[in-house]
Amino acid sequence: MAAASAGAGKAMMKPSNETDVSVVICTYTEDRWDDLLAAVDSVRRQSKPALETIVVVDHNPTMLERVRSEIVDEIADENRQ
């Protein structure tokens, strides 16, 4: 019984071959909207899901609002530099 409870209370560790992955997709123009949707869809269909998907919009407030309203399951942020 002592062996079974030896690990009790310890945090489970991931096997060393597993890594969490965040994906960043950059965009700047609505002319490539379909490409952006395809990229997001591709990330969603991976065999190992991403920890998070971040869509970064480069200097296009209209595009940022569209991403935020139409790709709601992902993080949308703007490049302000």
Instruction: Give strand pairing partners of 19.
Output: none
Give pLDDT tens digits for 10-59.
555 555 567 899 999 999 999 999 999 999 999 999 999 999 999 999 99
Sheet containing 75-79: give its strands across: 22-27, 52-58, 75-79
29-32 contact pairs (CB < 8 A, 24+)? 29/60, 29/63, 30/60, 30/62, 30/63, 30/66
Q: Does 1 score more than 50 pLDDT?
A: no
Nearest-10 Cα torsion for 30, 36, 38, 41: -130
Instruction: Give strand pairing partners of 22.
Output: 52
